[in-house]
């Protein structure tokens, strides 16, 4: 971070009937037992992390969770390999194996320490272990802080499609220590900013304009700008999830750019392209299609292109991917109903819709014409 933060920690809530849970945001929260311990189900705690994040933050979290003489907890860890390609059922089995080896019961809590890959897998492991145990999200990438730690989508990839195996399973709390962003590689920061831009595009034109002005500060790790981006993003996500927890309707708007992006990720074998990068290119494809439908003006399209480029994200699709490659994966997308492709498109900047009537020749020509590199 470029500035040491005088900001206090802040808190939002996800309002899900009786299952309201907090999102704590602030610097140094990894060291704050008050923000974590009240959300544990019992004395058994399994931290799920990976080999990149463990050397950075595991010991601090263990100290915070371990308790004192009066209140001792059994805190274990499972350290998984790193990378999107490891987001598989086999990795989740390693979590279950560790839980059983430790003799953990239904009153245990899983704590996900890491990015979205760890959070999605730990959440899914928690959803299934002994038919469901508590879990807490401690996200350490920008992407996981603004998106994946909130809302309860958990799961793993399948070679044929992204997040194809999973469950909705909400965390008991989300603890966002903004200090962890200091160690995040610049490329991962840009990937996280893709999901931040998404919120502006789908429902907040003012936020979009703020992002255009503040992108250099965000990429420069300005702590106040990042904190504001996290709070505004989480507020939008929490509000959409509260309206439509299991994606019966409006939650699908959070999928802007993902139908195209998931096709890129699956085609690449979940390597090379980061999720946020694929979403960045996918949002450009969705915007370009919206322009062809006559919904987005050329000036608006240019604003989206400039913002995505200024974020350091790819503005082209992979050279090796044909229109048919895109369509093969897009046909398996979870949003589709019967044979109809449902895409999230932009009705204007700051407003999105789910649309299932795109003329197939228009989509095919967009997929063929979109720039490749």
Ligand X SMILES: NC(=O)c1ccc[n+]([C@@H]2O[C@H](COP(=O)([O-])OP(=O)(O)OC[C@H]3O[C@@H](n4cnc5c(N)ncnc54)[C@H](O)[C@@H]3O)[C@@H](O)[C@H]2O)c1
Ligand Y SMILES: O=C(O)C(=O)C[C@@H](O)[C@H](O)[C@H](O)COP(=O)(O)O
Which residues of this protein are in contact with ligand X, per CB under 6 A? 50, 52-53, 56, 82, 84, 87, 114-118, 120, 140-141, 143-144, 147-148, 151, 153, 163, 180, 183-184, 188, 191, 275-276
C-alpha closest to that of 244 among 152, 333, 175: 152
Reply yes or no on whether 334 is catalytic: no
Least distance (Å) from ligand Y to the CB of residue 275? 6
C-beta closer to ligand Y: residue 173 or 194: 194
Question: Residue 342, SS3?
Answer: coil
Position among 177, 188, 195, 265 found at the interface with ligand Y (CB under 6 A): 195
Distance in Å, CB of 334 to ligand X, minimum = 12
- Of residues 34 through 73, those in contact with ligand Y by CB under 6 A are none
- Residue 258 near ligand Y by CB under 6 A: yes
- 340 beta partners: 337
Q: DSSP assignment of 188-239, as one string?
A: HHHHHHHHHHHHHHHH-HHHHHHHHHHHHHHHTT-HHHHHHHHHHHHHHHHH
At 21, phi and psi to the nearest 5? Answer: -140, 155
* Residue 158 designated active-site: no
Q: How many helices (H) and strands (E) does the chain have?
A: 13, 11
366 alpha-carbon distance from chain centroid: 27
Question: Which residue(s) pair with 176 in the sheet?
Answer: 25
User: Which residue among 228, 247, 265, 277 is the active-site one?
Assistant: 247
Per CB under 6 A, 342 contacts ligand Y: no
Choose from ligand X, ligand Y, none: what does 258 bind? Cβ within 5-8 Å by kind: ligand Y
Asked about 267 being catalytic, the answer comes back as no
334 near ligand Y, rule: CB under 6 A: yes
Question: Can you tell me the distance from the alpha carbon of 276 to that of 71, in angstroms, rounded to the nearest whole number?
Answer: 41
Q: Which of 24, 94, 153, 342 is catalytic?
A: 153
Catalytic residue chosen out of the listed positions 50, 172, 188, 195 = 195
**Nearest 5 degrees, angle CA 328-CA 334-CA 340?**
65
Distance (Å) of CA 93 to CA 87, 122, 259: 11, 10, 28
Task: Indicate which of ligand Y, ligand X, none lies near residue 144 (CB less than 5 to 8 Å, by partner kind).
Answer: ligand X
Q: How far is the CB of 251 from ligand X (least distance, A)?
A: 10
133, 105 contact by CB (below 8 A): no
Q: In this complex, which beta carbon is closest to ligand X, that of residue 276 or of residue 350?
A: 276
Contacts with ligand Y, residue ranges (CB under 6 A) = 147, 151, 153, 162-163, 195, 247, 251, 254-255, 258, 334
Just list the catalytic residues. 131, 153, 195, 237, 247, 251, 255, 258, 262, 275
């Amino acid at each position: 971070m470029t500035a040491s933060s005088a900001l206090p920690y802040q808190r939002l809530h996800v309002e899900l009937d009786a299952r309201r849970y907090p999102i704590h945001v602030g610097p140094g929260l990894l060291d704050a037992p008050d923000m974590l311990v009240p959300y544990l189900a019992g004395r058994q705690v399994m931290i799920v992390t990976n080999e990149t994040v463990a050397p950075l933050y595991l010991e601090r979290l263990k100290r915070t969770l371990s308790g004192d003489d009066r209140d001792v907890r059994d805190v274990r860890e499972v350290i998984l390999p790193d990378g999107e390609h490891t987001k598989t059922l086999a990795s989740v089995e390693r979590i279950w194996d560790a839980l059983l080896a430790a003799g953990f019961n239904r009153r245990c809590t899983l704590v996900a320490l890491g990015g979205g890959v760890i959070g999605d897998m730990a959440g899914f492991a928690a959803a299934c272990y002994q038919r469901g145990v508590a879990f807490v999200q401690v996200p350490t990438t920008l992407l996981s802080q603004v998106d994946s730690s909130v809302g309860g989508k958990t799961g793993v990839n399948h070679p044929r499609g992204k997040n194809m195996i999973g469950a909705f399973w909400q965390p008991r709390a989300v603890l966002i220590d903004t200090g962890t962003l200091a160690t995040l590689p610049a490329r991962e920061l840009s990937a996280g900013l893709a999901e931040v831009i998404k919120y502006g595009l789908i429902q907040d034109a003012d936020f979009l304009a703020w992002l255009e002005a503040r992108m250099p500060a965000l990429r420069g790790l300005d702590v106040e700008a990042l904190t504001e981006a996290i709070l505004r993003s989480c507020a939008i996500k929490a509000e959409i999830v509260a309206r439509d927890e299991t994606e019966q309707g409006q939650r699908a708007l959070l999928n802007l750019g993902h139908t195209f992006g998931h096709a890129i990720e699956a085609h690449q074998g979940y390597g090379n392209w980061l999720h946020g990068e694929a979403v960045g290119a996918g949002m450009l494809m969705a915007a370009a299609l919206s322009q062809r439908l006559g919904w987005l003006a050329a000036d608006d399209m240019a604003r989206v292109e400039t913002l995505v480029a200024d974020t350091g994200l790819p503005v082209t699709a992979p050279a090796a991917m044909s229109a048919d490659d895109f369509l093969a994966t897009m046909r398996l997308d979870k949003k589709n109903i019967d044979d109809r492709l449902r895409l999230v498109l932009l009705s204007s900047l700051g407003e999105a819709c789910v649309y299932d009537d795109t003329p197939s020749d228009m989509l095919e020509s967009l997929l063929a014409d979109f720039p490749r590199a």
